[in-house]
Amino acid sequence: MGRDCQTRMADVVVLEPGYAAYDTERAVLAGHEVQITPVSLDEPAVPALQALDPVALLVRERQIGAAEIDACPNLKIIARYGVGYDNVDLVYAKARGIYVTNVPDYGADREVSEHGVALYLAVQRRLVSRDADVRAGKWGIGQAAPVPGRQDAVLGLIGCGKIGLQAARKFRALGFDRVVVYDPYLEEAIARDEGIERTDLDTLCREADVISLHAPLTPETRHILNAGRIALMKPDAIVVNVSRGGLVDEAALAAALTEGRIFGAGIDVFEQEPVRPDNPLLKAPNTILTDHAAWYSERTVGLLQTKAAEEVSRVLNGKPPLNWVNK
C-alpha cells in the first residue's frame, strides 16, 4: 500500500556514513514532497528502513542487499555517492524495478591521483616512522631504516582510466622513467599519446617499482593482485591502492610486507569497510593506511551531493536517471 503523502512527507533516506550536512540535497529536492532522513551507522538498517519506507536511498559505503531493498516497498531509486557500486545488489534491485545510479563524473581524478602519490611518497620516504622516531628522541636513523633509490623507476598501473592517467602524469613529474599499464580497455592511441607501455599483468609485477591500482572491482578483477603476482614483485616494490579493496589479497600483501619480500604499501581502501580490527595490514611494517579518503575534498563533496540528489529528482519526476547502472 502506498504512503499517504497528505499526512506524511515521503522520506529520502541517507544511510550513513554520509556527510556533515544535507542542505545540498534538500535544496535540489525542494520541489518534491520529500524530507531527507539520515540513518546513523550505529542503527540497524533494515528495521529503520521498514519504519520509514523511503522512496529513495542515498548511500556511500553501506551494503544494500535483498534485505535492505525488501524493507522499502515504495523504493524507486538507490543513488550511490561515488563511482563504484559493488556494495549494491544490482540484480535484485533490477528485479524489483528499482533504479541504481552512480556519480561517475564528479571529477575526483585530481584528488584520488594526488592521494595515491602522497601515499607513495610517505611510504618511500618512511615519513610516518621517521616522525615517530624524532618525537621519541631518536636522531640519525639513516641506514637503520633503508630507503631505496628510485633512479629510472618504473610505475605500473593496473587500470588506466582518467585517474590512472592523472597518476601517470604526476609520477612522471617525480622522475619516473617509464609507465607500464595493464588495462584491456585502454585505447592504443591514448597509450601512445601518453607515452604509456601496455603489458600483461605478470610482466608489470616483475618490472614495476611502484604498482598503483585504478581498476573497478568486478568478479574478474577481485584479487587481481594475488599471492602469486605479489611473489613476482621486486623486493623494494611499493603497492598503492586508492581504488577498491577487493582488488588486493590483503592477507597475501600483509604476509609479503611482514616477511620483507616487498618494501611497503599505501592503502586507502579495504575489502571490508570500516576496516576490521583483525585485518593483517593494520600490523604490517612500512604500511600507511587511510580511511577511503582519496576521493575527498570539499569541492568533490559538493559535487557528489548535488549529482546524486539530481538523480533522485529525475526519478521522482518520472524520468530515467542519467547514470543508470542496472539496466
Choice among 16, 114, 197, 273 that is catalytic: 273
- How many CB atoms sit inside 10 A of residue 118's CB? 19
Instruction: Report the helix count and the strand count for the chain, using DSSP H and E.
Output: 12, 12
DSSP secondary structure letter of residue 6: T
Across the chain, the runs of DSSP E, i.e. the strands, are 10-15, 34-39, 56-59, 77-80, 99-101, 154-158, 178-182, 197-198, 210-213, 238-241, 264-267, 287-289
Choice among 60, 126, 292, 314 that is catalytic: 292
Alpha-carbon gap, residue 17 to 19, rounded angstroms: 7
The DSSP-derived string for 252-306 is HHHHHHHTTSS-EEEE---SSSSPPTT-GGGG-TTEEE--S-TT--HHHHHHHHH
Say if residues 140 and 236 touch (Cβ distance below 8 Å).
no
**Omega cis (within 30) before 274:** yes
DSSP secondary structure letter of residue 142: G
Is 292 one of the annotated active-site residues of the chain? Answer: yes
Pairing of strands 77-80, 56-59: parallel
Query: What is residue 227's three-state secondary structure?
Result: helix
Is 32 one of the annotated active-site residues of the chain? Answer: no
> Cβ neighbours of residue 174 under 8 Å, at least 6 residues apart?
117, 121
Is 206 one of the annotated active-site residues of the chain? Answer: no
Choice among 62, 214, 244, 314 that is catalytic: 244
Q: Considering only CA atoms, which of 149, 158, 202, 148 is closest in space to residue 179?
A: 158
**Catalytic residue set:** 244, 273, 292
